[in-house]
Amino acid sequence: MKALIFPEPWKVECVDVPRPDVGPHDVLAKVISCGICGTDVGIYEGGHWIVSHGPGGHGHESGCEIVAVGDKVEGVRVGDRVARMGACYAQYTNEVNVVGHGKDEASGALPIVRNDLTCDEISFADAVGCALNCAERAELGRIAGRKPRAVILGLGPIGLLLARILIMRGVAVAASEPFAHKRDLAAKSGVKVFNPREFTRARHGRKNYVHAILEDFGPADAVFEMVGQNETLMDAINLVRPGFRVLVFGAQKMQMIPYMECRLKGVELVYPEAMVNSKADADYWIPALNLLAGKNGPKLQVMDLITKRVTLEQAVHTFEHYNREEWIKVIVEPNID
């Protein structure tokens, strides 16, 4: 079968590797849809703390179909559509991604069967779980007597999903994003959007988008830093209400914490994991899948976030020329020629 490997930063190759064997306790899945996550792009660029690993490594945003089941496995059948498969930058995989981003893959958990969803929809489960974790760690339910207010800095896929989830929960949301089509998508969901690049010295003097948000929207009970830059962390601290939370989800290897500003405002800095909430000892696989299916309420819409589809071979060029301005979610289809 074909698989992508990431031998070193700024290098990705499509190679031929052996198709995984199926032992008595294994399942083999055919990869139908696999989203390119910002983590994968960061690993490729060498700016993420996670280091690349073997053939088919990464590719945790997967929607797969079972093609073989070991005789000791129960609850999974050939033809089932499944979530929670890992190492899916490959045509086939037998690795199970238990909690997100490669942790505990060897613990023996089964993939999650969800025949009520398409493989495209299933491929969003990991990102939706991350967005749910961010929303839960904000603990906006503690706000009483008024509508909670949140600001999101950065409308990548998880930022856009988070915005939709917060709106569905009755939270007032504002967001900063430099790229117009992402702002447009968020605005359609009811988000008040701001373009940080439109504020220039000639037109606005010392005022920037932070001043605009504070004037037009007000301070937030939670600010979500989704960019991964020290500058936006500082902006988030300036935007949050004193004593409330900044959720830091943007990825970077090292971060400078502005101690004085945090201390003077009594700001809480919270670092949500991927789709694991260690505070609550919970993960969000099932809630994410249920939200995608509309099982316990409104269905979370995600298909309009897909802006590009590529084969494994084309994915090499996609990583090399990754276009954050034009693309939102890129889907790799390993079994499409």
Task: Compute the half-sphere exposure of residue 131: CA atoms within 13 Å on the CB side of its CA.
Answer: 29
H helices of the chain, in order, are 38-45, 119-122, 125-138, 157-168, 180-188, 201-204, 209-216, 230-239, 259-265, 285-293, 312-320
Give the distance from CA 62 to its chain's centroid: 12
Average pLDDT over residues 267-271: 96
Q: Please state which CATH class domain 131-277 belongs to.
A: alpha beta
Q: Are strands 306-310 and 329-332 parallel, antiparallel or unpaired?
A: parallel
- Residue 100 has a pLDDT of 52
Please check the confidence at residue 31 and state whether its pLDDT lies above 70: yes
* pLDDT score recorded for residue 9: 87
Q: Which CATH number fits domain 2-124+302-332: 3.40.50.2000, 3.90.180.10, 3.40.50.80, 3.40.50.1820?
A: 3.90.180.10
Length of the chain as a residue count: 337
Do 120 and 31 form a contact (C-beta atoms < 8 A)? no
pLDDT digits (tens, 9 = 90+) for 79-131: 999 999 999 999 999 988 866 544 554 556 789 999 999 999 999 999 999 99
Domain ranges of the chain: 2-124+302-332, 131-277
Question: What angle do the packed helices 285-293 and 125-138 form, to 10 degrees?
Answer: 110
**Could you read off the pLDDT of 166-178 as tens digits, one per residue?**
999 999 999 999 9
pLDDT of residue 237 exceeding 90, the answer is: yes
Task: Say if residue 15's pLDDT is above 90.
Answer: yes
Euclidean distance between CA atoms 179 and 156, whole angstroms: 10
pTM above 0.85, yes or no: yes
Check for a shared fold between 2-124+302-332 and 131-277: no
